[in-house]
Structures are given as structure tokens and as C-alpha cells.
Amino acid sequence: MRKVYSRPKSLKRNPFHYCPGCGHSIIHRLIAEVIDEMNLRDIVVGIPPPGCSVFAHHYFDIDMAESAHGREAAVATGIKRTDPEVIVFTYQGDGDLAAIGTAETIHAANRGERITSIFVNNAVYGMTGGQMAPTTLSGQKTTTTPYGRDVSLEGYPIKMSEMLALARGAVYIERTAVSSPANIRKTKKAIRKAFQAQIDGLGYSLVEILSACPTNWRMSPLESWQWIEKVMTKEFPLGVIKDATGASDAN
């Protein structure tokens, strides 16, 4: 019998603790698969954030160093500038990358740091109990917008990927989702392309991944995946937002 599917080498033999339907475990696996396939495990360092994925090091079998909330891009910069041979990626949520860490993120992108950010957008603060995130949709109910997000008071869902695309140092930005097998495959391809941009020394790359938080959304896993496809993608359309890698097709 031929083995067609197994645990990537870059993942430890630990069962995921994430909630049913949460996108983290899928995204972890995709990153691990890409690290394996691109043969990066020996030279990769991951920077996970505070939040549910603060335990990412419990699953990834690669070098990992925690960062303070929002400072991942600055930490990654320090590592990358010290040893440019190291492949560095940050793993960040929406509160992290799009609120407290906006300055660090924008400036790392603008400097064209050769780092890759995996930006998990689930429209809420997950670990703290489902508060409003900068990416929370208009009208969306959260524990701090119990009557729905009122854009006249709380602002609009922020579009980090589109904003970052304006930075000259950012070379590859794509928004994907882990809401269906097809989208999961596209996500993996995007992660691969983002890492390739870093390996080629081209500049900053980011993959924004729309991901479900069924627990805080008060939905079943199936409902939450449908909500990503039907509602979230209206505000955050999927696709390549910027590709200045120059190569006609890195794949």
C-alpha cells in the first residue's frame, strides 16, 4: 500500500488543542507541509503571538520564539538582520497584526524586510473571549460590540493587506481562506509563494488567511465556514493583492 498522507516532519506528535472548526490546526499543518516540502526545517524560525496560537510551539517541530503582542515583525527583523540565511515567519492574528502591531507591521513591510507574515483573520479576539477586532465586520456582534459593530463609533473593518500592498517593500500579498478544500489548497500555494519571495530575497511577504472562530462566533463549524464564504469574503475578497515577485510563476 502506498502512503499518501502523513504527519509533516515539522509537526510534533501532539494532538491540537484548538476548538472544533478552528482554522489554526489547518493553517499550522499547511505551514509545516510547506516547510517540509521546501526543505526549510533546518533554517526556519517561527514567531508565534500571544493568543490561542501562543501554544504553536507545542505543535511545530521547528525553532520558535514567542513575541510580545504585536511586535512579531520587529522581532523577526532582529533575527533576519542578524542572520540573513535564516527563514523567519511570523504567525499573527488580527488584533495582533491589525491593531497593536500595525506600526511594526507597516514599517517592516516598508523596509522590505525579508520576512513572511502569516496573518490569521478571524474577525475577533479569540483567546480573550471574542471581543471586537479591527477586522470585525460592520454589524457583527462580539462581546464588546453586543449590539453589533457600529462603524460610526467603532470604525470600519480594517483592510491590512490592501494597506500593506502600498508599501514598496512588500512584494507578495495574498488573501485566502481555509473554508473549503479548494481554498485550503490555494492557501498552501500562497504560503509557498510567500516563503519563496523571502528565499529569493525580494522583500516582505504576507498571506492573510480568513479563518473561523466557531466558539466566539457562536456558530457550528459548518456554519462558520459558510459564514466565511458568504459574508466575510464580501468585506475581505480573496485573491492575490500584490505580486511584485517578478517571476512569471514561482510554482
Partner 1 sequence: MNGNSTIGEAAIRAGCQGYFGYPITPQNELTEYMATHLSRKKGCTFIQAESEIAAINMVYGASLAGARAMTSSSSPGISLKQEGISYLAACELPAVIVNMSRGGPGLGSISASQSDYFQATRGGGHGDYRTIVLAPSSGQELADLTHRAFDLADKYLIPVIILGDAMLGQMMEPVEFKYEAPEELPVRSNAMRGAKGHPSRVIKTFTSKPSELEEINWSLFRRYQLIKKQETSYEAFMVEDAELIVIAFGIAARIAKGAIKTARSNGLKVGMLRPITLWPFPSDKVRELAKKTKYFLVFEMNMGQMIEDVQLALEGKGEIFFHGRPGGVIPTPSEVSLIVSRLCYQKGLK
Residue bearing cell 471574542: 130
Q: Which is nearer to partner 1, 61 or 243 (CB)?
A: 61
Position 45 contacts partner 1 (CB under 8 A): yes
Q: Is the dihedral of CA 94, 143, 155, 225 positive or negative?
A: positive
Position 54 contacts partner 1 (CB under 8 A): yes
Report, in Å, the least distance between residue 87 CB and partner 1.
8
Q: Which of 7, 14, 66, 166 binds partner 1 (CB under 8 A)?
A: 66
Position 31 contacts partner 1 (CB under 8 A): no
Q: Which of residues 138-167 bind partner 1 (CB under 8 A)?
A: none
Single out the segment in contact with partner 1 by CB under 8 A; choices: 54-62, 140-148, 185-193, 224-232. 54-62
Which three-class secondary structure string do you get for 147-204?
Answer: CCCCHHHHCCCCCHHHHHHCCCCEEEEEEEECCCHHHHHHHHHHHHHHHHHHHCCCCE
Q: Which is nearer to partner 1, 86 or 240 (CB)?
A: 86
Report, in Å, the least distance between residue 150 CB and partner 1.
30
Contacts of 223 (CB under 8 A, 6+ apart): 214, 217
Position 99 contacts partner 1 (CB under 8 A): no
Rounded CA gap, 153 and 70, in Å? 24
Position 78 contacts partner 1 (CB under 8 A): yes
Rounded CA gap, 16 and 34, in Å? 19
Strands 170-177 and 239-243, by their bridges, are antiparallel
Contacts of 15 (CB under 8 A, 6+ apart): none
Position 77 contacts partner 1 (CB under 8 A): yes
Position 16 contacts partner 1 (CB under 8 A): no
Which three cell numbers, joined as nine digits, stand for 245? 515577485
How many chain residues bind partner 1 (CB under 8 A)? 37
Q: What is the DSSP letter of 205?
A: E
Position 103 contacts partner 1 (CB under 8 A): yes
Identify whether the C-beta of residue 54 lies closer than 8 Å to the C-beta of residue 96: no
Single out the segment in contact with partner 1 by CB under 8 A; choices: 104-112, 153-161, 164-172, 226-234. 104-112
Report, in Å, the least distance between residue 112 CB and partner 1.
12
Rounded CA gap, 90 and 97, in Å? 10
Position 114 contacts partner 1 (CB under 8 A): no
Q: Which is nearer to partner 1, 111 or 189 (CB)?
A: 111
Interface contacts to partner 1, rule CB under 8 A: 40-45, 50, 54, 57, 60-68, 71, 74-83, 85-87, 103-104, 106-107, 111
